[in-house]
Structure 1
Amino acid sequence: MSNAPAIPELLLNIARNPITAAGIPLTLGVLSGLPTRKVVRGQWWNSLYKAPLQPPGYAFGTVWPALYLSMGYASHLTAKALDAAASNHTTDDLNLGLQLYYAQLGMNFLWTPLFFVAKKPGLALINITALTGTTYYLTKLLHDATDGATTLFMAPYCAWLTFATYLNGTTWYLNRGRYVRKFD
């Protein structure tokens, strides 16, 4: 018997279906990003000092949907591997991997409101640092358990999160103390 707690059946069923597995993160990402458009046109965002490697705004609308679909498909591959798992060790890793997947999805969903709506880049930096670490760990954990299949879909997300953490951290560092109450 496995020692790891099983992932709730609802979350496992979402991941089992490739449409819902990819659609849930995409939908959550779109919903989370809706308020961003207004904020990036406003005074607060436009007054901030930005990272030297800050990409143009349209890049985010291109990159994130692809990453959401990719991470969602990785969750689907994980659920398929879990259904076919032969050993308790593999089952434990896959269960934990899916639990961490949903945890990182929640952290991902919270980042945009923290940064753009609450205008708290420091708090968002804590969130994205935890998100990035969790995502790297779950990618490593799932690599062996899925014979590397999920890594192909998670590696671009890990790379982008690293870059996004740099952008968040640099923006926080360059603007610390400037925006606390200025534009609320």
Structure 2
Amino acid sequence: MTTYIPSLTFPSYVFEQPAVSILLPIVAGAAIGYSTRPTETQKTYLALRQPPFHPPAWLFGPAWTTLYGLMGYAAHRAWSAGASSVNPATVALAKQGATLYTIQLGLNLAWMPLFFGFNRPVAATVDILALGGVVGYMTYIWGQVDETAGYLFAPYLGWLTFATYLCVGVGYLNDWDMSTAKRAAKKGE
């Protein structure tokens, strides 16, 4: 069981201000996306053997922007409901959820560099499995504080399930080695 760990938790003002809470994951996600060179990432994605039902590359940007916005808003709702509660147990759950939220965002932002930047599909798979567990637990914790916040995390959990399938599928179909796809992407430049 995770508890509130101040050193692993965003400051309370991140959750208190709706604009900050919503924009932080969107801006951080966009920064990571652009830092991994989107043109190269897209070429590598297209060069990889893909499992059935893989989406087109252009879908990931809008999907993640929407999910980041929803998670930021849900975080704001859960924190606001919990921090203003007179029930000490609810306050404790809100703080615990804030720690889990911070950890999950770190895991989330680590996935793309692991997979595309460092070409480590096994490490990316471990990351996304841990991410799914943390998000599931965080959703449970914050859902007790604010039911709507819990429901707002449902699309994120659904997408993470699908993303885990894609990550494992791509890893397996490419023998857990992305070097061939990287070389093919570079030749196509």
* Structures share fold, TM-score greater than 0.5: yes
What CA distance in whole angstroms lies between the structure 1 residues aligned with 2:97 and 2:130?
A: 15
SS at match of 1:19: helix
Aligned to 1:179: 178
Alignment of 1:18-167 (within 5 A): 18-34=18-34, 35-42=36-43, 44-146=44-146, 148-167=147-166
**How far does the alpha carbon of each residue in 1:143-169 deviate from its partner, in whole angstroms, 9 at most, with x for none?**
1211x1202211101100111011001
Aligned partners of 1:39 and 1:117 also within 8 Å: no
Quick check: 83-92 or 128-137, which moved more? 83-92
What CA distance in whole angstroms lies between the structure 2 residues aligned with 1:64 and 1:127?
A: 17
**How far does the alpha carbon of each residue in 1:66-105 deviate from its partner, in whole angstroms, 9 at most, with x for none?**
1000000111112211221222221221111110001000
| Pairwise CA distance, 1:182 | 7.7
Aligned partner letter, 1:25: P
**How far does the alpha carbon of each residue in 1:122-175 deviate from its partner, in whole angstroms, 9 at most, with x for none?**
1100001100110011001111211x1202211101100111011001111111
Where structure 1 has 5 or more consecutive residues not aligned to the other structure, the ranges are none
| Pairwise CA distance, 1:40 | 3.1
Sequence identity, in percent? 30
Aligned partners of 1:7 and 1:98 also within 8 Å: no
Aligned partners of 2:121 and 2:176 also within 8 Å: no
Residue correspondences, number: 179
Aligned partners of 1:78 and 1:150 also within 8 Å: yes
Q: 1:88 to 1:172 in 2, by over 3 A?
A: same
Aligned to 2:187: none
Aligned partner letter, 2:23: G
Aligned partners of 1:36 and 1:112 also within 8 Å: no
Aligned partner letter, 2:167: N
Query: Within the alignment, does 1:15 sit opposite 2:24 as a pair?
Result: no
Aligned partners of 1:97 and 1:138 also within 8 Å: yes
**How far does the alpha carbon of each residue in 1:100-120 deviate from its partner, in whole angstroms, 9 at most, with x for none?**
001000111111100111111
TM-score scaled by structure 1?
A: 0.89
TM-score scaled by structure 2?
A: 0.86
